Amino acid sequence: MKANEIENRSKILPEQRRTLIRQMIRQEGVVNTEELAARFDVSYMTIWRDIALLEEDGKVQRVRGGAIQPEAAAEPEPAYFSKQRVRSRQKEAIACYAARQLVHDNEILILDAGTTVAAITKYLTQRNLTIVTNGVQTILETMNRLSTMTVMSCGGILREPAHTFVGPQAERFFDNLNAHTFFLGATGLSFPEGITDPSPLEIQVKRAMAASAARIVLLLDSSKFGVRSLLPVVPLSAVHEVVTDDQIPQDDLSHLRALGIHVHVVPPSSTHCT
């Protein structure tokens, strides 16, 4: 039985229900307790007990309001500052190009907390910008620019090692926003898996960000191509543009362009910021 076939099936056995819950978490990264109770037509407490039993077996990790894939199921996530030092020339060139070529005056921008995306803020020269983010380091990057831009951040649970706000409060913050562009980073991009990241909590916030923007621009240095992480973030069909460096594998470049995605290839020696 597939997870998307469980509606109106309230007579399944508890073990079957727990198997389906595990399957949903593998597919989506996170589940909500109230939504599960409604979908299976059982009480909130029944679902709570199911999740508690699954957690005892090490199959899920409980969080406020639901459950996620156990952190141990993913590869260890690098700390923010260690990621910042990797391929820094390429990341700076990508960020500068995105800031100078893909942003216009009076726009509202959503920036995720990735190191390449955060670097955009150093190169913004446009007037009357609004920056919205869940990243602590992204906020810090804007501190010397507050006289020329408006900076907004969600609340939520402060998460290591990414220095990000996550959780239901963070997700709800983005529900009513209307942004021009969402600049998205990721751990990897592969085919057919698409854009992937290791943290279900981070992914849920990124999906909320994506839903609030008219355009999605993926910033990804070439080392991320062919990398598969734990769960998909957003489908490639939702991405409008990709900015990467000139070491992108040609097969991946062709594949993206065949999907109708505009790919900007930026050499590390790019003159856009000189």
Q: Is the pLDDT of residue 4 over 70?
A: no
pTM (2 decimals)?
0.73
* 52/252 Cα distance (integer angstroms): 42
Is the same domain home to 245 and 155?
yes
Check whether 137 has a pLDDT greater than 70. yes
Residue 7 pLDDT class (50, 70, 90 cuts):
very low
Confidence of residue 274 (pLDDT cuts 50, 70, 90): low
Say if 273 falls within a structural domain.
Answer: no
Locate 29 and state its tokens. 């990264």
53 with 136, same domain: the answer is no
Considering the domain architecture, whether residues 259 and 153 belong to the same structural domain is answered as yes
β-strand pairing of 108-111 with 179-184: parallel
Name the domain count of the chain.
Answer: 2
140 lies in some domain: yes
Q: Which pLDDT band holds residue 130 (cuts at 50, 70, 90)? A: very high
Q: What is the pLDDT of residue 82?
A: 47
Shared domain check, 89 and 42: no
Residues 34 and 89 in one domain: no
Instruction: Please check whether residues 99 and 231 belong to one and the same domain.
Output: yes
* 182 and 219 together in one domain: yes
CATH at residue 209: 3.40.50.1360
Highest-confidence segment of 37-51, 82-96, 150-164, 232-246:
232-246
**Does some domain include residue 271?**
no
pLDDT bin (cut points 50, 70, 90) of residue 230 is confident
Which of 45, 73, 101 is the last residue in one of the domains? 73
Contacts of residue 70, defined as CB under 8 A and 6 or more positions apart, other chains included, come to 58, 59, 60, 61
Q: How many residues does the chain have?
A: 274
In a domain, 144, yes or no: yes
85 and 120, same domain (yes or no)? yes
What is the model's pLDDT at position 78? Answer: 53
SS3 213: strand
Same domain, 15 and 91: no
Confidence of residue 94 (pLDDT cuts 50, 70, 90): very high
Greater confidence, 48 or 214?
214
Residue 1: the pLDDT is: 46
Give me the pLDDT at residue 84, please: 45
Q: How far is CA 74 from the centre of its chain?
A: 15
Is residue 199 domain-resident?
A: yes
pLDDT band at 87 (very low <50, low <70, confident <90, very high): low
Quick one: 93 and 111 in the same domain?
Answer: yes
Q: Dump pLDDT digits (tens) for 105-117.
A: 999 999 999 999 9
DSSP H stretches of helix in 86-236: 88-101, 115-118, 136-141, 168-173, 200-211
Q: How many CB atoms lie within 10 A of CB 3?
A: 17
Query: Which residue among 73, 88, 120 closes a domain?
Result: 73
For residue 55, give its domain range.
3-73
pLDDT one-digit tens code per residue, 162-184: 889 999 899 999 998 999 999 99
Q: Does 226 reside within a domain?
A: yes
